[in-house]
Amino acid sequence: MDVEVGAVLPEWRVPSVSAEKMKTMAALLADPNPIHFDVAAVRALGLGDRPVNQGPLNMGYVMNMLAAWSGGHDRLRRFRVRFLRNVFAGDELCASGVVTAVRTENRVRLADCDVVLTGAGGEPVLKGTATVALEPVTEEKP
């Protein structure tokens, strides 16, 4: 896989964040936070009238973008993000990224990337950095 610094990763889009997926995720996580499934609780906290997407789901969209570009989920080595604002049911999202460095570590070629998840207006909701292996590797000592 030939990669250069400055390469733009193909965008990965979510047309409309699903409130039903949030409910499934809340159950999978045993997450009692009602902002993910109870609109009354969202209103009571002054957060509007749509459920708030789980942070891990927002991370997962960006991980999907990295996997689609690099060749699979087994390529991800490091992923660090800051959550900047809430994502609500019905929101449109776009995960994107750009390569900031290409290097070799322990004989494995790696690409460092800036990554961001943005809303329909282009506002970032999650931002950070990631490192992916550019070839399939199954094991590396920590």
Question: In this chain, which stretch among 59-67, 97-105, 108-116, 117-125 interacts with another protein, using CB under 8 A?
Answer: 59-67
Phi and psi angles of residue 111, each rounded to the nearest 5 degrees, phi first: -120, 125
**Distance, CA of 76 to CA of 86 (rounded, Å):** 25
The reply on whether position 123 binds another protein by CB under 8 A is: no
The reply on whether position 16 binds another protein by CB under 8 A is: no
- Find the binder of another protein among 81, 89, 110, 116 (CB under 8 A): 81
Closest distance between another protein and the C-beta of residue 101, in Å? 17
Q: What is the CA radius of gyration of the chain?
A: 17
65 touches 26 (CB < 8 A): no
- Find the binder of another protein among 1, 10, 49, 56 (CB under 8 A): 56
The reply on whether position 32 binds another protein by CB under 8 A is: yes
**Distance, CA of 52 to CA of 25 (rounded, Å):** 12
Is residue 16 classed exposed, middle or buried when 0-12, 13-18 and 19+ CB atoms within 10 A define those classes? exposed
The reply on whether position 140 binds another protein by CB under 8 A is: yes
Cβ closest to another protein, residue 2 vs residue 19: 19
The reply on whether position 95 binds another protein by CB under 8 A is: no
Number of residues that bind another protein (CB under 8 A): 41
Pairing of strands 76-83, 124-133: antiparallel
Tokens of 3: 């990669």
Give the residues lining the site for another protein (CB under 8 A): 14, 21, 24-25, 28-35, 41, 45, 47, 55-57, 59-61, 63-64, 67, 72-74, 76-83, 86, 138-142
